[in-house]
Protein backbone atom coordinates (compact mmCIF):
# COMPACT_ATOMS: atom_id res chain seq x y z
CA UNK A 1 0.00 0.00 0.00
CA UNK A 2 1.34 3.45 -0.99
CA UNK A 3 4.80 2.10 -1.89
CA UNK A 4 4.82 4.72 -4.60
CA UNK A 5 4.46 7.48 -2.03
CA UNK A 6 7.23 5.95 0.08
CA UNK A 7 9.56 6.04 -2.91
CA UNK A 8 8.62 9.59 -3.80
CA UNK A 9 9.04 10.69 -0.18
CA UNK A 10 12.44 9.09 0.39
CA UNK A 11 14.52 12.14 -0.49
CA UNK A 12 12.23 14.53 1.37
CA UNK A 13 12.34 12.37 4.51
CA UNK A 14 16.14 12.23 4.44
CA UNK A 15 16.20 15.99 4.11
CA UNK A 16 13.78 16.39 7.03
CA UNK A 17 15.87 14.07 9.23
CA UNK A 18 19.06 16.06 8.65
CA UNK A 19 17.42 19.44 9.17
CA UNK A 20 15.59 18.29 12.30
CA UNK A 21 18.89 17.32 13.94
CA UNK A 22 20.33 20.71 13.07
CA UNK A 23 17.24 22.42 14.45
CA UNK A 24 17.42 20.38 17.65
CA UNK A 25 21.07 21.24 18.16
CA UNK A 26 20.23 24.93 18.03
CA UNK A 27 16.88 24.95 19.84
CA UNK A 28 16.78 21.88 22.12
CA UNK A 29 13.48 20.94 20.50
CA UNK A 30 12.29 19.73 17.13
CA UNK A 31 10.45 21.70 14.49
CA UNK A 32 6.65 21.40 14.49
CA UNK A 33 5.02 21.73 11.06
CA UNK A 34 1.31 22.16 10.45
CA UNK A 35 -0.21 20.33 7.42
CA UNK A 36 1.40 21.35 4.15
CA UNK A 37 -1.83 20.92 2.18
CA UNK A 38 -5.46 21.67 2.99
CA UNK A 39 -6.54 18.34 1.47
CA UNK A 40 -4.39 15.18 1.35
CA UNK A 41 -2.56 14.78 -1.95
CA UNK A 42 -3.82 12.27 -4.52
CA UNK A 43 -1.46 9.31 -4.45
CA UNK A 44 1.39 9.47 -6.96
CA UNK A 45 0.44 13.01 -7.93
CA UNK A 46 2.93 15.38 -6.32
CA UNK A 47 1.19 18.66 -5.60
CA UNK A 48 2.22 22.14 -4.62
CA UNK A 49 1.61 22.72 -0.88
CA UNK A 50 -1.01 25.43 -0.35
CA UNK A 51 -0.55 25.82 3.42
CA UNK A 52 3.21 25.73 3.68
CA UNK A 53 3.42 29.30 4.99
CA UNK A 54 1.30 28.40 8.06
CA UNK A 55 2.92 27.91 11.44
CA UNK A 56 1.64 27.17 14.97
CA UNK A 57 0.52 30.26 16.86
CA UNK A 58 3.05 29.60 19.62
CA UNK A 59 5.94 28.59 17.34
CA UNK A 60 6.49 31.03 14.51
CA UNK A 61 8.89 29.03 12.37
CA UNK A 62 7.78 28.18 8.84
CA UNK A 63 8.48 25.10 6.74
CA UNK A 64 10.62 26.88 4.15
CA UNK A 65 12.76 28.47 6.84
CA UNK A 66 13.89 25.07 8.04
CA UNK A 67 13.57 23.09 4.83
CA UNK A 68 14.50 25.43 1.97
CA UNK A 69 15.32 22.46 -0.24
CA UNK A 70 12.01 20.68 0.24
CA UNK A 71 10.58 19.89 -3.24
CA UNK A 72 8.09 22.40 -4.63
CA UNK A 73 5.72 19.53 -5.39
CA UNK A 74 5.11 17.12 -2.50
CA UNK A 75 3.80 13.55 -2.94
CA UNK A 76 1.82 13.64 0.34
CA UNK A 77 0.26 16.02 2.79
CA UNK A 78 2.92 16.27 5.48
CA UNK A 79 2.76 17.49 9.04
CA UNK A 80 5.24 17.10 11.85
CA UNK A 81 4.31 16.74 15.53
CA UNK A 82 6.96 17.46 18.13
CA UNK A 83 6.81 15.70 21.50
CA UNK A 84 8.47 16.05 24.87
CA UNK A 85 7.81 13.27 27.36
CA UNK A 86 9.24 11.26 30.22
CA UNK A 87 11.42 9.21 27.86
CA UNK A 88 12.77 12.24 26.03
CA UNK A 89 12.05 14.33 22.96
CA UNK A 90 11.16 13.25 19.45
CA UNK A 91 9.04 14.00 16.44
CA UNK A 92 6.55 12.29 14.17
CA UNK A 93 6.30 12.82 10.43
CA UNK A 94 2.68 12.27 9.37
CA UNK A 95 1.93 11.52 5.71
CA UNK A 96 -1.56 11.48 4.18
CA UNK A 97 -2.63 10.66 0.63
CA UNK A 98 -5.94 10.11 -1.11
CA UNK A 99 -6.61 6.88 -2.99
CA UNK A 100 -10.04 7.04 -4.58
CA UNK A 101 -12.38 7.95 -1.75
CA UNK A 102 -10.01 6.62 0.91
CA UNK A 103 -7.50 8.61 2.87
CA UNK A 104 -4.37 6.71 3.84
CA UNK A 105 -2.03 7.75 6.58
CA UNK A 106 1.46 6.77 7.71
CA UNK A 107 3.42 8.02 10.72
CA UNK A 108 7.18 7.86 11.05
CA UNK A 109 8.50 8.26 14.59
CA UNK A 110 11.96 9.60 15.33
CA UNK A 111 12.58 9.40 19.07
CA UNK A 112 11.91 7.26 22.12
CA UNK A 113 8.12 6.77 21.81
CA UNK A 114 8.16 3.98 19.26
CA UNK A 115 4.45 3.24 19.66
CA UNK A 116 3.74 6.34 17.58
CA UNK A 117 4.95 4.75 14.31
CA UNK A 118 2.35 3.24 12.00
CA UNK A 119 2.61 1.92 8.50
CA UNK A 120 0.06 2.92 5.87
CA UNK A 121 -3.52 2.54 7.02
CA UNK A 122 -6.88 3.75 5.81
CA UNK A 123 -8.44 6.36 8.06
CA UNK A 124 -12.10 7.28 8.26
CA UNK A 125 -13.07 10.91 8.17
Positions touching other proteins (CB under 8 A) are: 32, 34-35, 40, 56-59, 77, 79, 81-87, 94, 96, 103, 105, 107, 113, 115-116, 118, 121-125
User: What is the torsion angle, in degrees rounded to the nearest 10, for the CA atoms of residue 76, residue 72, residue 19 and residue 56?
Assistant: -70
The angle at the Cα of 115, spanning 65 to 41, to the nearest 5 degrees, equals 45
| Cα–Cα distance measured from residue 125 to residue 40, given in angstroms and rounded to the nearest whole number | 12
Shortest distance, position 122 Cβ to other proteins, whole Å: 6
| Cα–Cα distance measured from residue 4 to residue 27, given in angstroms and rounded to the nearest whole number | 34
Closest CA to 89 of 23, 4, 37: 23
DSSP 33: B
Number of Cβ within 10 Å of residue 107's Cβ equals: 16
In the complex with other proteins, the residue whose CB is nearer, 27 or 69, is 27
Shortest distance, position 60 Cβ to other proteins, whole Å: 11
In the complex with other proteins, the residue whose CB is nearer, 17 or 123, is 123
In the complex with other proteins, the residue whose CB is nearer, 32 or 99, is 32
In the complex with other proteins, the residue whose CB is nearer, 44 or 61, is 61
Shortest distance, position 72 Cβ to other proteins, whole Å: 22
Amino acid sequence: MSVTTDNLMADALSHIAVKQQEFFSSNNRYFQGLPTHLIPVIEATPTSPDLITNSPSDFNVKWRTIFPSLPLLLPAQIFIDYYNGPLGKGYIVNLRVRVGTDIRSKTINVGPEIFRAHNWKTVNQ
